[in-house]
Structure 1
Amino acid sequence: MDIEKMTLKVQEALNLAQQTAVKMNHQQVDTEHLMYAMLTQDDGLIPRLIDKMGINSNAITKEVYDYLDRQPKVLGESAGASSVYATRRLEEVLLKSEDIQKKMGDSFISVEHIFLAFLKGDYPSTSILKKHGITEKAFLEALKSVRGSQRVGTNDPEGTYDALKKYGRDLTEEARGNKLDPVIGRDEEIRRVIRILSRK
């Protein structure tokens, strides 16, 4: 599997998964290390999508961490980053995510492809996700609302998803929630704005 065909967030998640395995004194990097890494990534897409589905991503993160904490630990001189290896299950998830990426017509493997591979598989994380009501259909709907019709054509597409919500304000929504200052009684300000906007 070519690491150059993975987005920066996937590379970061794989690195974080390895660091988590080393920190927890695990001898192997497993699927749950990767799931935990994707759930705890700074400005990560997966927690945003889970929250968009109306599900508490922190509860899922805690359950995945608790699962990892119950796994056997290796202590001593053999423990460390050089002795950690990837499990077959992790390789399987990455291969499935590559297939999903191709089916979706994307150029790079992104975190959403890996998450879908988890949902299509049978892993400990999958049962945690399903217990919280995360289905493939619900995830794809949340992804579509954030991603729209964009394709993963660069190695950093996650930064472009939902850009309006990230960098803009929905004034209509704020007006509905009475969060804007009232316009009534501001005739002078309104005239000034109209004069400025009508200049050539």
Structure 2
Amino acid sequence: MNLNQYTTKSQEAIQKAQQIALDFGHQSIEPQHLLEGILQVDENISAFLMKKSEADLNLIREKNRETLEKLPKVEGGNIYLSQSANKILLDAPNIAKKMGDEYVTIEHLWLSLLEVNSEVSKILKDFGVTKNSLEAAIKELRKGSKATSASSEETYQSLNKYAKNFNELAAE
């Protein structure tokens, strides 16, 4: 796995997953740690993707934390990637390539979390997240742009971050 292929946000999520595993006393980094890492370093993209997939992000986070609590705790030893977490991180660059992106973004990690058979993919599917809904949300989020730099996520919905849409406010 080449971390240089990952955007800054994705790298932060992976590092956060490692820290979460350490904090919980877990020996292996599992998909649940990756999901929690993504949720802790990214607020905008994840919230947008789950809203468009008609899934409740807070309930997903709660369920994921429940599964984190149930993982076995170990003292000492080296921390390592579990087989499923490793598969997620190995599949994400392939997803990026299929989408025409040069870097692995948070969206690719979400797709990989959904596609690789794990407790997290089960949680996401239980809350109604599908590959089609996630891909549609990503297309809407990106509006045709590609991940061509390590800071690609920063450009999504930049207008929404720094301005108010008066048409949407009036409609509400």
TM-score (norm 2): 0.93
Name the amino acid aligned to 1:153. Answer: T
Question: Which runs of 5 or more structure 1 residues have no equivalent in the other structure?
Answer: 178-200
**Segment of structure 1 superposing worse, 13-22 or 155-164:** 155-164
**CA 1:31–1:100 in 2, change beyond 3 Å: closer, same or farther?**
same
Cα shift readout 1:16-67 (whole Å, capped 9, x = no counterpart): 0011000000011111110111122243522331123332101101111110
Instruction: Give the one of 74, 85, 89 matched to 1:90.
Output: 85
Q: How many angstroms apart in 2 are the aligned matches of 1:26 and 1:68?
A: 9
Higher percent of residues as helix: 2
Q: Which residue of 1 aligns with 2:30?
A: 30
Q: How many angstroms apart in 2 are the aligned matches of 1:66 and 1:174?
A: 36
**Segment of structure 1 superposing worse, 57-66 or 168-177:** 168-177
The alpha carbon displacement at 1:176 in A equals 3.5
Cα shift readout 1:88-147 (whole Å, capped 9, x = no counterpart): 211111111111111111000111111111222211100000000000111111111111
Instruction: Give the one of 115, 120, 140 matched to 1:125.
Output: 120
Residue 161 of structure 2 is aligned to residue 166 of structure 1: yes
The residue correspondences of 1:32-181 to structure 2 (distance < 5 A) are: 32-75=32-75, 78=76, 83-177=78-172
Question: How many aligned residue pairs are there?
Answer: 172
Q: How many angstroms apart in 2 are the aligned matches of 1:7 and 1:155?
A: 4
CA contact (8 A) 1:39 1:57 kept: no
Identity %: 31
- Spell out structure 1 runs of 4+ moving beyond 4 A: none
The alpha carbon displacement at 1:70 in A equals 0.3
Question: Which runs of 5 or more structure 2 residues have no equivalent in the other structure?
Answer: none
**Segment of structure 1 superposing worse, 114-123 or 39-48:** 39-48
Name the amino acid aligned to 2:126. Answer: K
**Segment of structure 1 superposing worse, 103-112 or 158-167:** 158-167
What is the RMSD computed on CA atoms of the aligned residues?
1.4
Q: How many angstroms apart in 2 are the aligned matches of 1:41 and 1:50?
A: 16
CA contact (8 A) 2:84 2:117 kept: no
